[in-house]
């Protein structure tokens, strides 16, 4: 099923992209081709094919906290424009920004 212009507008909104009309139409064609290719891939029979490893199975680094001296800690915290004590405010990901 081809993507409608409404679908493209919704995807652009979710990705927070401001797409001009000509780019939205070009993107619609490109996404249609990508989705058709994915559909072809889904039809490939993979029963009996052994799984391979993925990056998700590998640990690149540990998320362990490590101590820093108070001066370095304050320097790091001072770089954040908005904070309350040790709580650092970052831009929202899933909400539209308030203009």
What three-state secondary structure class fits 20?
coil
Assess contact for 31 and 10: CB atoms under 8 A: no
Instruction: Give pTM, 2 decimals.
Output: 0.47
Span 73-80, mean pLDDT? 85
pLDDT over 70 (residue 76):
yes
pLDDT of 25 reads 86
Please check the confidence at residue 1 and state whether its pLDDT lies above 70: no
All domains of the chain in start order, with CATH: 5-42 (1.10.20)
């Amino acid at each position: 099923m081809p993507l409608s212009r409404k679908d493209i507008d919704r995807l652009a909104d979710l990705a927070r992209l401001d797409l001009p009309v000509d780019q939205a139409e070009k993107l619609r064609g490109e996404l249609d081709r990508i989705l058709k290719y994915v559909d072809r891939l889904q039809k490939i029979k993979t029963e009996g094919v052994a799984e391979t490893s993925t990056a998700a199975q590998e640990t690149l680094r540990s998320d362990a906290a490590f101590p820093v001296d108070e001066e370095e800690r304050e320097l790091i915290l001072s770089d954040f424009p908005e904070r309350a004590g040790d709580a650092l405010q970052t831009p929202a990901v899933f909400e539209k920004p308030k203009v």
